[in-house]
Amino acid sequence: MTTAARTLVVPDTSPAALAALTAEIAATAATYDRSGAVPEAGLLAAQRGGYLTATVAARYGGPELGHSDVVRILVAIGEGDPSVALLAANNLGAHLAQAAAGHWPTELYADLVRRSAEQPTLVNAVRAEPELGAPARGGLPATIARRTENGWILDGHKTFATGGTALAYHLVWVLTDESPARVGHLIVPAEADGITWHDTWDHLGLRASNTHDVSYSNVAVPLENFSEIPFQNGVYRDPAVATGPASFGHAALYVGVARAARAAFAEYARTRVPTALGKPIAETERIQVVAGEIDTQIVQAETLLYGTLHRLTAGEPEVAQQLSAVKVLIARSVIAAVQTAVAALGNAALTRHHPLERHLRDVLCVRVHPPQEDAALLSAGRSLLVPDLPRGITPR
Domains of the chain, CATH where assigned: 15-120 (1.10.540.10), 126-228 (2.40.110.10), 239-385 (1.20.140.10)
Nearest-CA neighbor of 92 among 52, 44, 38? 52
The answer to whether 78 and 257 have CB atoms below 8 angstroms apart is yes
Q: What pLDDT, on a 0 to 100 scale, did the predictor assign at position 391? A: 53
CA gap 158, 138 in Å, rounded: 16
Low-confidence ranges of the chain (pLDDT < 50): 1, 392-396
SS3 at position 136: helix
SS3 at position 216: strand
Neighbours of 353 (CB within 10 A): 7
What are the tens digits of pLDDT across the range 213-254? 999 999 999 999 999 988 877 778 787 777 777 788 999 999
The answer to whether 290 and 298 have CB atoms below 8 angstroms apart is no
Residue 11, CB half-sphere, CA atoms under 13 Å: how many? 31
CA gap 389, 378 in Å, rounded: 12
Residue type, 206: L
SS3 at position 123: strand
SS3 at position 147: strand
Q: What pLDDT, on a 0 to 100 scale, did the predictor assign at position 394? A: 44
Question: Distances from the Cα of 296 to the Cαs of 113, 251, 266, 303, 311, in angstroms?
Answer: 40, 17, 14, 10, 22
CA gap 20, 49 in Å, rounded: 11
Sign of the alpha-carbon dihedral angle for 133, 100, 92, 124: negative
Q: Is 103 exposed, middle or buried (0-12, 13-18, 19+ CB in 10 A)?
A: middle
pTM of the model: 0.94
Question: Distances from the Cα of 168 to the Cαs of 42, 192, 218, 337, in angstroms?
Answer: 17, 10, 19, 36
CA gap 334, 297 in Å, rounded: 7
**Residue environment code for 233-242, b if the CB has 16+ CB neighbours within 10 A, otherwise e:** eeebbbebbb
CA gap 95, 55 in Å, rounded: 6
SS3 at position 88: helix
Q: What pLDDT, on a 0 to 100 scale, did the predictor assign at position 231? A: 84
SS3 at position 197: strand
